[in-house]
Each structure stands twice: as C-alpha cells, then as structure tokens.
C-alpha cells in the first residue's frame, strides 16, 4: 500500500456527534493510534491494541483510506496516510499512526519522551470517485488529482483554512502533485472524497 505524507490544517470544527463512526468507535481508533506508537517504543506491550480493535464494530473492519496527523504542543509532528481503501480502518489507523511517528521524512522520529504527549487527529476517507470540476464543493470534498505517474491529495479542511475558492483548490492540488497548476484542465484525472475527521478528547472534531 502506498503512503503519502501530508500537511493537514487544523482549526476547523463541527458537531462531534455527526458522521459515520460512533463516539465509541472514534475513541477506540484514537486509542489504537496512540497504542501503536507507544508499543513501537516499548512503552506498552507490543500489538496489544489490535486485539480490542479486531473484535470491535463491523464498521471498523471496512476498508477505508486513512490519514493520521500527529501534533505536539499544537505543532504538526507527522502525518502519513493511505489514499485508497486497501486495509480495514482499524489496521490502517495503526499502520499510519506508526508511520507518521517514525517514517515521515519531514520530521525526526518521535521519541519516548514525546510519545505520551502527542495529540492525534484521524481523517477517515470515503472511497475516491471521479467528479467534474464543477461539482466540487468546498468544505465537503477532498481532492485527488492524478496525471501520468504523479498524484496529489488535499483534505477537505485545507481550502477552508486557506480561504480558497474551487479553482484555487484545484490548482493547489495540482501543485501538490508536482504538476502545472492548470493540469486539471489538461486531462488530469480528478477524484473527490469526503473525510470524517476527529481528534483526541478536549479537542474539537470535524466532519467533512
């Protein structure tokens, strides 16, 4: 499965009760993400978090794309995700959390001292579907733009934070892919997805 590093934008919020995943499921996934990092550092028993997740609600067994974002004292500390739904949600969360902590090359690996203080935000993606540029809704859709061997992804919350309109969102996703900003007009494949985004307790959560 291919992993993409991402720089998510925080600060948006909405009703935490909305979305596909129950509060119980959200809490379990966040606990799983933390446990995956802590177990890699031998701070808790290895692989123990997968036991509870594997017997959880059937929704957590659905294959979904996932991005896990780590924050330390409010600053981004790592973000890695799977675009495509190639693994069950619980497994994708565990793997992307560990990758965000130790494999995001933009940051040094998370240390044993930092790990207990990380705040985690999860973005659970719907399967991407081809969409016309005119149908893209700011605040609802994330974008995945592909041309040749290049691919760029931006989550739904990014254009809101930057106050982008639809055209700018398309251009910036092309830029993310390393393409010309007008590649979306020149035959690039445009796919859209929604994301249910939620954070650790005492942080506001976001649904898109």
Residues 29-45 as b or e (16 or more Cβ within 10 Å = b):
bbbbbbbbbbbbbeebe
Domain ranges of the chain: 4-15+22-125, 129-193
Q: What would the pLDDT profile of 41-100 be if each residue is shown by its tens digit?
A: 988 876 555 545 555 578 899 999 999 999 999 999 999 999 888 899 999 999 999 999
Residue 157 has pLDDT above 90, yes or no: no
**Is 182 within 8 Å of 171 (Cβ atoms)?**
yes
Residue 206 pLDDT greater than 90, yes or no = no
Query: Alpha-carbon distance 104 to 99, whole Å?
Result: 7
Q: Which long-range contacts (CB under 8 A, 24 or more apart) does 181-187 make?
A: 183/145, 183/147, 184/133, 184/145, 186/147, 187/147
Name the architecture of domain 129-193.
2-Layer Sandwich (3.30)
Q: Which CATH code of 3.20.20.70, 3.30.420.40, 3.30.700.20, 1.20.1050.10 fits the domain covering 4-15+22-125?
A: 3.30.700.20
């Amino acid at each position: 499965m291919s992993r993409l590093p991402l720089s998510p934008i925080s600060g948006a919020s909405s009703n935490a009760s909305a979305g596909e995943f129950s509060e119980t499921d959200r809490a379990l996934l966040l606990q799983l993400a933390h446990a995956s990092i802590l177990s890699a550092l031998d701070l808790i028993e290895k692989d123990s978090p997968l036991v509870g997740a594997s017997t959880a609600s059937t929704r957590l067994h659905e294959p979904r794309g996932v991005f896990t974002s780590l924050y330390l004292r409010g600053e981004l500390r790592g973000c890695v995700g799977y675009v495509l739904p190639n693994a069950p949600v619980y497994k994708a969360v565990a793997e992307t959390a560990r990758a965000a902590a130790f494999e995001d090359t933009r940051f040094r690996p998370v240390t044993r001292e930092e790990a207990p203080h990380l705040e985690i935000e999860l973005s659970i993606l719907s399967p991407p579907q081809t969409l016309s540029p005119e149908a893209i809704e700011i605040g609802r859709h994330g974008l995945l733009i592909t041309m040749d061997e290049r691919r760029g992804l931006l989550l739904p919350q990014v254009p809101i934070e930057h106050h982008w309109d639809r055209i700018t969102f398309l251009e910036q996703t092309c830029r993310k892919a390393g393409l010309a900003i007008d590649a979306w007009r020149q035959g690039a494949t445009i796919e859209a997805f929604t994301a249910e985004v939620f954070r650790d307790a005492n942080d506001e959560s976001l649904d898109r």
